[in-house]
């Protein structure tokens, strides 16, 4: 019996994230996938990414413009695509590929607004479901696949009744950051708060194991080199009855990323950090009697999410989707931030979070 061949995919997009994250991570798992093509709107951009990819995938083809996109659509050997284009164009591109029968792994955010999400979900559900099912639409949210969140979620359950949740983000989106000048991120409604914030909300929802139901937020615009708003403080209510606070500063001199869940029997804290030169998360569990223990989890979420997607679309799969990759999961992350941004614009009014 011959082993099934790995699925062949194309990457749509050739920006910084493709060159610095997608290609290196795909190279690590090249036994699980065949990178057949990279597409961009322009020939120059596509060639730049292909040049990086050829070190690991020597057969990868360079495609650009409408003609190149159609060639990918017509190529029946390409079963899936990674959509890594400007946030405002991702949904349109994803639906185009899904309607052509391709499985889609779309970069976050799931969409630029609630209305776009609702239209997108409706359009997806109207795609005819060929045997055995319609193509998979996944959103690449690596935080849901980081071992730190997977393991800490189990420990949160051991801390007893939840009393409070804190999420503090002090970002480092300054001129030395490669995404600082990204025009599509700057033009996104909510700017960097939406683009960066979906990660942190995904981590929050993963840890607490339930949905955010309503929010009340204050926003401000202090750093004029950034799009408005660049600061947000929000109270939020969880469906389990617990409340919490989300604080995000897009650019600070003291970068910090911290989740803290306080329970009746103990506290769990997760903080970004570095150990022995490896970037990851420091997890600290505080128990009764002042005891505590700390575990370090290196980053591996991007690789793990890619593995899950390729498993979902492989020949041996029944196209049953890993729940953490579902488009609706990504939509919920956007919905929480959209509610916070709306509340900030309405001077702290309590805004319910849209459900899908």
pLDDT given at position 128: 78
**pLDDT of 131 above 60:** no
Mean pLDDT of 76-90: 90
Question: Is the confidence at residue 84, as pLDDT, over 50?
Answer: yes
pLDDT at residue 2 greater than cutoff 80 = no
| Domains of the chain listed by start with CATH number | 8-141 (3.40.50.720), 143-302+335-352 (3.30.360.10)
Higher-pLDDT residue of 111, 218: 218
Question: Is residue 314 very low, low, confident or very high in pLDDT (cuts 50, 70, 90)?
Answer: confident
The rounded mean pLDDT for the chain is 91
pLDDT at residue 132, rounded to an integer: 52
Residue 229 has pLDDT above 50, yes or no: yes
Q: Are 15 and 87 in contact (CB under 8 A)?
A: no
- Laid out side by side, the sheet with 103-107 consists of 61-64, 34-40, 8-12, 78-83, 103-107, 137-140
Cβ distance 330 to 108 under 8 Å? yes
Q: What is the pLDDT of residues 192-222, one digit of tens each?
A: 899 889 999 999 999 999 999 999 999 999 9
CA 268 to centroid of chain Cα atoms: 23
Entry pTM: 0.92
Rounded CA-CA distance 356/348 in Å is 24
**pLDDT-based confidence at 1, cuts 50/70/90?**
very low
Q: What is the pLDDT of residues 136-186, one digit of tens each?
A: 999 999 999 999 999 999 999 989 999 999 999 998 887 777 666 666 677
Looking at residue 143, its pLDDT comes to 93
Tokens representing residue 224 in the block: 């004029």
251-256 mean pLDDT: 91
Query: Does the pLDDT value for residue 335 go beyond 90?
Result: yes
């Amino acid at each position: 019996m011959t082993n099934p061949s790995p699925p062949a995919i194309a990457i749509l997009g050739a920006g910084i994230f493709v060159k610095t994250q997608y290609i290196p991570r795909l190279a690590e798992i090249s036994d699980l996938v065949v990178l057949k093509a990279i597409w961009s709107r322009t020939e120059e951009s596509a060639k730049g990414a292909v040049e990086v990819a050829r070190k690991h995938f020597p057969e990868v083809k360079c495609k650009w413009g409408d003609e190149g996109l159609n060639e990918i659509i017509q190529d029946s050997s390409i079963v899936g695509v990674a959509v890594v284009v400007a946030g405002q164009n991702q949904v349109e591109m994803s639906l185009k590929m899904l309607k052509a029968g391709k499985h889609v792994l779309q970069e976050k955010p799931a969409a630029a607004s609630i209305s776009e999400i609702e239209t997108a979900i409706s359009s997806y559900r109207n795609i005819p479901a060929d045997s055995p099912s319609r193509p998979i639409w996944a959103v690449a949210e690596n935080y849901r696949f980081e071992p730190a969140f997977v393991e800490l979620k189990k420990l949160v359950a051991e801390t007893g009744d939840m009393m409070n949740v804190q999420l503090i983000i002090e970002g480092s989106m300054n001129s030395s950051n490669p995404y600082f000048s990204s025009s599509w991120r700057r033009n996104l409604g909510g700017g960097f708060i939406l683009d960066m914030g979906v990660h942190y909300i995904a981590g929050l929802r993963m840890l607490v194991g339930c949905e955010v139901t309503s929010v009340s937020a204050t926003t401000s615009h202090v750093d004029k080199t950034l799009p408005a708003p660049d600061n947000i403080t929000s109270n939020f209510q969880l469906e389990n009855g617990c409340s919490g606070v989300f604080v995000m500063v897009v650019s600070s001199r003291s970068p910090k990323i911290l989740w803290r869940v306080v329970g009746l029997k103990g506290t769990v804290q997760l903080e970004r950090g570095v150990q022995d030169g490896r970037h990851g998360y420091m997890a600290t569990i505080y128990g009764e009697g002042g005891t505590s223990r700390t575990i370090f989890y290196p980053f591996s979420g991007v690789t793990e999410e890619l593995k899950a997607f390729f498993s979902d679309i492989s020949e041996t799969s029944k196209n049953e989707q890993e729940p953490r990759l579902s488009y609706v999961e990504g939509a919920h992350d956007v919905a929480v931030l959209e509610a916070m941004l709306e509340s900030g614009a309405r001077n702290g009014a309590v805004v319910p979070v849209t459900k899908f």
